[in-house]
């Protein structure tokens, strides 16, 4: 269950309203994960939104969390500096409504309450710690436009820093989707790297991570019999994680990562496996020299590739669609509907 915090008489489980002097709503969505702090600022546009500003910074909030159970002071300091940048951008853009959520690292940390207090005191941002189920539902809303409505089932996954969320979704049409099942595994790129002693995974360790992921996913597969849907040609797959967007950028040979080029592309499993295995053969320095990886993610990408390979083995759809969108876009759609007084998007949890 998500934790709620009261700040100045306002519950942070509701979007934070800054002011109403502007005639048009200006929306902001902050997603604070185990590895990244990201934000989008947008204006409503017809039935959608137009992004006017964004922010993304690797903060490694969950660094050392697996071993200590605590958010470290240095990680909190880095993250608060990033959130100060978010607050400055929100003020500059005249944001009227924002929602600011924290995920796995804050769900797990014993000292998350004191961190939430520090964030509010030093940045003015009221963070809301959401459950894994809500995180998954918002991610579905954010990437629903990439789902082919003619294919009746969808597997959606997000390989995060501290956890991996997997959804099994029934697609009735473009406007009606139902989450049939959702699970969260306590494995992400940061936790795998730390548990395995660093980012250079040998072939045996890489395989051990993949096998562990398959075992963790087995009860979910048994419950929903997803593989039968895959074998019948009734399932599609969407990946919303940094792992798949990185592999997409590498596949396109981009000189630097470009969201507009990567978002929405389709990659077959053979291509994904080939790029993953090529990265395994590189040194840390060689991976860091890849323009779509860099030093900040060079020690994390192999863990994500091992998790991805396990998902592809268990559910051999043959290809997946890459989504550089998800939680933030889902929050924006919710706020957009709320600001217009309209009903929430027709995505329900089953």
In this predicted structure, what is the pLDDT of residue 198? 61
Give yes or no for a contact between 319 and 237, defined as CB atoms under 8 angstroms apart.
Answer: yes
6-130 against 133-327: fold identical: yes
What is the average pLDDT score of the chain?
A: 87
CB proximity list for 223: less than 8 A, separation 6 or greater: 181
Query: pLDDT digits over 20-57, tens only?
Result: 444 578 999 999 999 999 999 999 887 788 899 999 99
pLDDT of residue 340: 65
Q: How confident is the model at residue 197 (pLDDT cuts 50, 70, 90)?
A: low
Would the pLDDT of 1 be above 70?
no
pLDDT of 175: 74
% helix, strand, coil for the chain, step of 5: 45, 25, 35
Q: For residue 255, which phi and psi values (nearest 5 degrees)?
A: -70, -20
Q: For residues 57 and 68, give the distance between their C-alpha atoms in angstroms, rounded to a whole number.
A: 24
Whether residue 348 has pLDDT greater than 80: no
Rounded to whole angstroms, how far apart are CA atoms 49 and 46?
Answer: 7
- CATH T-level assignment (fold) for domain 133-327: Nucleotidyltransferase; domain 5 (3.30.420)
Of 214, 176, 196, 180, the closest CA to residue 310 belongs to 214
- Please tell me which residue, 276 or 200, carries the higher pLDDT value: 276
Q: Report whether 11 contacts 25 (CB < 8 A).
A: no
The average pLDDT across 213-221 equals: 96
Domain spanning 6-130, CATH architecture: 2-Layer Sandwich (3.30)
Domain locations in the chain as residue ranges: 6-130, 133-327
**pLDDT over 70 percentage in the chain:** 89
**Helix H or strand E encompassing 38:** strand 36-45
């Amino acid at each position: 269950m998500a934790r709620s915090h009261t700040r100045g008489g306002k519950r942070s489980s509701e979007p934070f309203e800054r002011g109403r002097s502007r005639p048009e709503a200006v929306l902001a969505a902050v997603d604070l994960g185990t590895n990244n702090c990201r934000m989008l600022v947008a204006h409503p546009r017809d039935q959608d939104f137009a992004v006017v500003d964004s922010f993304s910074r690797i903060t490694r909030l969950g660094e050392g969390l697996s071993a200590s159970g605590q958010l470290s002071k240095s990680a909190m300091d880095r993250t608060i500096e990033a959130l100060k940048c978010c607050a400055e951008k929100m003020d500059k853009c005249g944001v009227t409504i924002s929602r600011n959520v924290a995920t796995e690292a804050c769900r797990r940390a014993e000292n998350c309450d004191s961190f939430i207090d520090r964030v509010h005191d030093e940045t003015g941002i009221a963070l809301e710690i959401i459950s894994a189920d809500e995180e998954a539902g918002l991610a579905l809303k954010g990437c629903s436009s990439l789902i082919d409505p003619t294919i009746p089932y969808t597997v959606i996954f997000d390989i995060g820093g501290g956890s991996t969320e997997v959804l099994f979704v029934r697609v009735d049409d473009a406007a009606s989707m139902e989450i049939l099942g959702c699970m969260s595994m306590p494995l992400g790129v940061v936790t795998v790297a730390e548990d395995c002693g660093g980012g250079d995974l040998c072939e045996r360790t890489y395989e051990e991570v993949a096998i562990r992921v398959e075992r963790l996913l087995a009860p979910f597969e048994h419950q929903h019999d997803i593989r039968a849907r895959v074998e019948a040609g009734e399932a599609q797959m969407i990946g919303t994680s940094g792992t798949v967007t990185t592999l997409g950028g590498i596949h396109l040979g981009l000189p630097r990562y470009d969201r507009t080029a990567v978002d929405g592309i389709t990659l077959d499993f053979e291509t994904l496996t080939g790029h993953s295995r090529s990265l395994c053969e590189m040194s840390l320095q060689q991976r860091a020299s890849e323009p779509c990886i860099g030093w900040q993610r060079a020690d994390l990408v192999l863990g994500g590739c091992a998790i991805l390979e396990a998902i592809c083995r268990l559910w051999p759809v043959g290809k997946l669609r890459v989504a550089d969108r998800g939680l933030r876009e889902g929050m924006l759609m919710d706020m957009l509907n709320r600001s217009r007084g309209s009903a929430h998007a027709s995505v329900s949890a089953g």
